[in-house]
Structure 1
Amino acid sequence: MAKRVTAPAPIRFGTRDLLVAAMMNVLWGLNIIAVKMGVEATGPFTAAALRQAIVFMVCASALRIVPGRMRELIGLGLLSGGIFYMFVNASLFVADNVSALAIAGQVGVPFSMILAVVFLGERIHFIRMAGMGLAFLGVALLVFDPAAGREIPGMLLTAAGSFIWAVSSLIQRRLRGVPVLTIYAWMGLVGTIVLVPVAVGFESDVVRSLPDLPLGDFGWIAFSAIGSTIGGHGAMSWLLQRHAVSAVVPLTLAAPVISVVVASLFFATPLTPLMIAGGVVALAGVAIVTIRTARVNEGEGKSA
């Protein structure tokens, strides 16, 4: 008689897990300051090219051909490693109120859900539809706030970048099982190849002056590459290997809150009652979509 195989008991969140989750949120939350400072010190495209070059150098040892996955890896590098940073860095370059951009960036989650419905045939019900509606409503409220309404060009660029991120998230679903460092090695390589010509073409004076770039300014870009991209996503990967998706994903919701608050404090920009209301509504919608999606995905994984 065959022995019944029982699934291993899930690992409970311990002090180390919570510290890793906290570090992940802090790294992601502070990144908006680092990106803004790096963009101001160099230029949107030069800062992006330097960031991706650093990512590639750190992850280069993990670069390898992954049979059957190269189209996805190259596509992800083109979109998430290159074009995404053009929009995001450009948005931070033209904007003064960075907190408004941090709120506007939350539309990436509902964008991702809409694309999954259109291209993957996923079915969503009222709860996630309501969450998407709240996310868009919260961002829309910013238009009526004088402090944030002046940042419409930046918010539109942020929304475009969020759409690119949403498309990239669909590609990443096809890369399950590929090591995180290998993914980021390809993103860094392809992103650098895409961004360097753009930086040379539009910011040639900045590129020529890079040897004189102060170490402190370079440090902001290095923080984005190593801290946010590699450290933050590495922590996320580590947590997902130990815990259920539905337990880990909600922990990421602290990052945008940190971004909004620290950006307002660091750059001394107003965080008005209407901005706070819009941010709360948008983050509530994102939380509903994120948590509900994580539970659905976990349930599908168990039934597979």
Structure 2
Amino acid sequence: MNDNIEIRGASENNLKHIDVTIPKGKLVVFAGVSGSGKSSLAFDTVAVESEREWQQSYPLFLRNKMPHYDRPKVDEIRNLTPAIVVDQRAIGANTRSTVGTAVDVAPLLRLLFSRVGEPSAGGSMAYSFNHPAGMCPDCTGVGERLELIEESMFDPDKTLAEGAILFSQFSAGWQTHLYQNNPLLDPDKKLRDFTSEEWDTLKYGSKEPVKVGIKSNNTGRVDMVEYEGVFPRFERVYMKRDITKLKKGLQDEIMSHVRRGACRTCGGRD
């Protein structure tokens, strides 16, 4: 095998019909001032032609599903091997980001397994942890579960009116009235004195649907809102969503009330 990649007559973008010999198996740096053609040579010529030639080995069906690359403006490239382009952008902190999604190989793997895998799970979406057809129903494809630390949510020596719910979003603003105005709960009674039924109502919700009146501080209007226990509300609003877009302080507070572990259903694989 030839030890060099031979490029002749590269004219992509601002390249001026240049000839370059790139040694294989070595660390090669394209250096130069801004606009000198570094990216045009590395990405728009070498990488594009490598991807284009690689795609020619795929069946037509697969090629039609993949990005299309025109041949770069170059007279000849010899001894070219497959190229891997690493994106220079910072990888996002989304909980669903993986190596496969970051380098765009995940869609190709899904397509491969859906077409030639035996036994087959179905179409390509059946192999996606971001699609209902393929994700674990318990962890929704994240691979881990957040478990609520129940004892961290309350101060039993306080009343609801005194701020016994320790999660700030439930102890301030209109949401605090969801619990203080519940006719089944005494807002001036210390939580340690609650009966087991009152505790269940506070934590998990009432056995029968209960409407709670919440008065707007701006308009004075009273809206009737269906009561929801602290635990199911916290899980629905904060544990079953991507919290990375929330303010850092709120993220930290949420995480102080939960513990992280592998999903018990899929073992963290889906």
Q: Same fold (TM over 0.5)?
A: no
TM-score after normalising by structure 1: 0.20
Q: Which has the higher strand share?
A: 2
TM-score after normalising by structure 2: 0.22
Q: Which has the higher helix share?
A: 1
Larger Rg: 2
